Amino acid sequence: MTVNYPEVWDLDTLFPGGSESQELRLHMNEAVTKLSAFEELVHNFKVPAAKEDAQKVADLLEQMSGVMRHLSQSGAFIGCLMAQNTQDKKAGILESEASSLSARFQNSFQKIQQDLSKTEDGAWTELLKEESLREFTFILNEWREEAKMLLSEKEESLITALGVDGYHSWSQLYDMLVGEINVTVSVDGESKSLSVGQANNLSSHKDAAVRKESYEKLEEAWTDKEEFFAKTLNSIAGFRLETYKKRGWDNPLQEPLHINRMKQETLDAMWGAISSNKQPFVDYLDQKGKLLGKDGLDWYDVDAPVTESTQQFSYQEGAEFILKQFGKFGPELEQFAQQAFEKGWIEAEDRPNKRPGGFCTGLPLSEESRIFMTYSGSMSNVATLAHELGHAFHTYALRPVHSLNRSYAMNVAETASTFAEMIVADAAVKNAQSKEEKIALLEDKVQRNVAFFMNIHSRFLFETRFYEERKKGVVPASRLNELMEQAQTEGFAGGLASTHPHFWASKLHFYITYVPFYNFPYTFGYLFSLSVYAKALEEGSGFEEKYLALLRDTAVMSAEDLAMKHLGEDITQQAFWEKGIALCVQDAEEFISLTSAEA
Ligand SMILES: [Zn+2]
């Protein structure tokens, strides 16, 4: 007998009663007590000077991890409340309470980092040899290195304070500018006034005239305000470069590479491999243009559907499909996912007042995860569900690891999720009921490759060149347009009939102040996980144990060491990246051959 999996998640096992929960209230009060005690300890903490101080450092770390787990537990829970019902006002209040607690925690954390950087090198080496600290070697060294890259405590705190209005508020101004834009587009014979987000969603509309008009109206709007956007972008980059200069960093990539724990050579090898393998994707773009009855593909047709996937799966069918495919990879992934379905870890119901999109969040004290999405029965929903289960499996894999050793960077964050999604997406293509269905599923995969290898590459090229020019002075809107067009021509290897000059104004990612170069980690994560996937296909069912070991190490070593230790691969070499790309090339070629007869 098959059990029916619940479509609504169970949050009551965490804290009963939602945003009115008494248990949650008590938990938050306890968080304040724990945090205050930690702040006190940090305040009185003395810079460790000899190996005898190891125990004191270990105690501090233990207390720190306790506070972190406590805060994450409530933070994640409140995030779930906010997502399941955007009208939950009480949850909104709890959220601001939680975020002010985590800001307090961050302050103490920075103080600790600074203190640890003051220990003499010799004493530091001795300290790390002590049993009580050995498992934290990687993160402790990283904290210390980070603190050393910075200016003095006083100067850094001045930068942070000035950054609120002088830096981050440019990013908020950007949101305000974009929020003011409305464009009028005629959709299905009706003239509609649309926000930027709504107009962007029309990029995959089945009517070519709608796609073209929404693109053109948006481009007009960006042009209209281009000087404001140019001012904003120049100010953000200017603040960043000036800070870097004071800290003595001359490469704008230094910070993003450090955050992602990877080397410049690795990044160069990745883009190098991508650049020399673009032709199959250019051929795909050409073919797509033909399918749309055009000579060459325009920017605004990149997301156009060539055929529609019509296959529908009930939630139960989707879940069973995922479990079956996971089972072919390994028993632990299958059992884990089954438990997530059975125990109500997943919120999938299609109902009003839910936030759009999907996420997976971990609850460290309960050692559970919760997955949020809206399931409406398409194959792409099934893939999203598998993706989020992959994230949850990553958290599960990290359970035996100390909680301070679980913070992985953005570039490896998508490894387990993309991996799980790939298992399901590949199986879906193989199981397709018709040729049309197969084409639609394949296209979905190839479109993603175009995004990672071409679109994101062009963003990276643009940003790198823009920063170089910005060092010499303000870069006017007209020049930003030129730089963007050049970057797109190169990124898409000349595969498009037209470019999008104001893309730099339209893409929020360029204006995120908290994360510099919000682009290459996506491509890295995707290709890295493809290589892990290629390895899994090669090694068969015995691979799962190795896979779990890799996931466990994602937060305690550099990207280079991780790949060397678990895959035996040198990721500073192009040859590594080419293996993942080869899998994508197969999809592009299959798409072209399946659609050739029809073009
Ligand atoms: Zn993800």
Phi, psi (deg, nearest 5) at residue 305: -80, 135
Q: Are 588 and 446 a contacting pair, CB within 8 Å?
A: yes
Residue 393: which residues within 8 A CB-CB, separation 6 or more? 333, 336, 337, 416, 420, 551
Residue 168 CA to ligand 1 center (angstroms) comes to 25
Q: Give the model's confidence band at 99: pLDDT under 50 very low, under 70 low, under 90 confident, else very high.
A: confident
User: 563 CA distance to ligand 1 centroid (A)?
Assistant: 20
Compute, in angstroms, the gap from residue 511 CA to the centroid of ligand 1: 21
For residue 95, how far is its CA from the centre of ligand 1 (angstroms)?
A: 22
List, in sequence order, every residue forming a beta bridge with 182; answer none if it has no partner.
195
Task: Assess whether pLDDT exceeds 50 at residue 101.
Answer: yes
Confirm if 69 and 403 have CB atoms less than 8 A apart.
Answer: yes
CA of 528 to the centre of ligand 1 (A): 14
Report the sign of the C-alpha dihedral through residues 149, 152, 153, 154, in that order. Answer: negative
φ/ψ bin of 15: left (φ > 0), alpha (ψ from -120 to 50), beta (otherwise): beta
Identify which of 267-281, 402-416, 518-532 has the greatest average pLDDT: 267-281
Retrieve residue 369's tokens.
Answer: 């995860």
Q: What is the pLDDT of residue 472?
A: 97
The confidence score (pLDDT) of residue 201 equals 85
Helix (H) or strand (E) holding 408: none
Instruction: Give the H/E segment covering residue 402.
Output: none
| Ligand 1 centre distance from Cα of residue 406 (Å) | 16
**pLDDT the model gives residue 308:** 74
Distance from the CA of 53 to the center of ligand 1, in angstroms? 40
Looking at the DSSP assignment, which residues form a beta bridge with residue 372? 347, 359
Q: How far, in Å, is the centroid of ligand 1 from the Cα of 387?
A: 6
Q: Please give the distance, rounded to the nearest whole angstrom, from the Cα atom of residue 417 to the centre of ligand 1.
A: 6
Q: Are 569 and 459 in contact (CB under 8 A)?
A: no
Instruction: Answer yes or no: are the C-beta atoms of 64 and 45 closer than 8 Å.
Output: no
Distance from the alpha carbon of residue 420 to the mean position of ligand 1, in angstroms: 10
How does DSSP classify residue 375?
A: -
Question: From the CA of 132, how far away is ligand 1's center (Å)?
Answer: 34
Residue 261 has pLDDT above 80, yes or no: yes
For the stretch 37-69, pLDDT in tens is: 999 999 999 999 999 999 999 999 999 999 999
State mean pLDDT over 489-498: 97
Distance linking the first and last C-alpha atoms of the chain = 47
How many A from CA of 348 to the centre of ligand 1?
16
Taking the centre of ligand 1 as the mean of its atom positions, its distance from the CA of residue 587, in whole angstroms, is: 22
Residue identified by tokens 């997976």 is 360
Expressed in angstroms and rounded, the spacing between residue 116 Cα and the centre of ligand 1 is: 33
CA of 326 to the centre of ligand 1 (A): 17
How far is the C-alpha of 39 from the C-alpha of 101, rounded, in Å?
A: 11
Neighbours of ion ligand 1 (CB under 5 A): 417
Average pLDDT of the segment spanning 273-296: 96
- Distances from the Cα of 573 to the Cα of 271, 435, 529, angstroms: 11, 38, 16
Report how far ligand 1's centroid is from the alpha carbon of 94 (Å).
25
CB 102 within 8 A of CB 75: yes
Q: Which residues of 187-205 are buried (b: 16+ CB within 10 A; e: fewer)?
A: beeeeeebebeebeebbeb
- Interval 441-485: pLDDT, tens: 999 899 999 999 999 999 999 999 999 999 999 999 999 999 999
Q: What is the mean pLDDT of the chain?
A: 94
Rounded alpha-carbon distances, angstroms, from residue 244 to 36, 240, 332: 33, 6, 46
d(CA 66, CA 63): 5
Ligand 1 center–CA 205 separation, angstroms: 25
Among 154-158, 219-223, 530-534, 595-599, whose mean pLDDT is lowest?
Answer: 595-599
Instruction: Name the 3-class secondary structure at 363.
Output: strand
Closest CA to 86 of 347, 346, 350, 354: 354
> Measured between alpha carbons, how far is 135 from 62 in angstroms, rounded to an integer?
12
Q: How far is CA 182 from CA 175, 502, 505, in A?
A: 13, 16, 15
Centre of ligand 1 to C-alpha 454, Å, is 20
Neighbours of 27 (CB within 10 A): 18
pLDDT exceeds 50 at position 599: no
pLDDT (mean) for 287-309:
91
How far apart are alpha carbons 168 and 160 in whole angstroms?
10
> For residues 539 and 551, which has the higher predicted lDDT (pLDDT)?
551
Find the length of the chain.
599
Q: How far is the CA of 414 from the centre of ligand 1 (A)?
A: 5
User: How far is Cα 306 from Cα 289, in angstroms, rounded to an integer?
Assistant: 10
* Structural contact between residues 421 and 151, judged by C-beta atoms closer than 8 angstroms: no
Q: 529 with 418: CB under 8 angstroms?
A: yes
Within 10 angstroms of residue 537's Cβ, the number of other Cβ atoms is: 13
Rounded to the nearest angstrom, the distance between the alpha carbon of 520 and the centre of ligand 1 is 15
- Give the distance (Å) from ligand 1 centre to CA of residue 388: 6
Q: 248 burial class (0-12, 13-18, 19+ CB within 10 angstroms)?
A: exposed
Structure tokens at 281: 């994707």
How many helices (H) and strands (E) the chain has is answered by 27, 5
- The per-residue pLDDT for range 161-206, each reduced to its tens digit, is 899 899 999 998 998 999 899 999 999 889 999 989 889 889 989 9
Ligand 1 midpoint to CA 192 (Å): 33
Does residue 126 surpass a pLDDT of 80?
Answer: yes
DSSP string, 510-528: GG-SSSSS-SHHHHHHHHH
* Strand pairing class (346-347; 359-363): unpaired
Q: What is the pLDDT of residue 598?
A: 52
For residues 135 and 403, give the distance between their C-alpha atoms in angstroms, rounded to a whole number: 11
| pLDDT over 80 at 330, yes or no | yes
Percentage of the chain exceeding pLDDT 90: 84
DSSP bridge partners of 195: 182
**418: CA distance to ligand 1 center in Å?**
7
Compute the distance between CA of residue 528 and CA of residue 516 in angstroms, rounded to an integer.
21
Alpha carbon 72 to its chain centroid, in Å, reads: 19
Distance of CA 573 to the CA centre of its chain: 24
Distance CA 273, CA 571 (A): 11
Q: Which amino acid belongs to residue 349?
A: E
Distance 487 CA to ligand 1 centre (A): 27
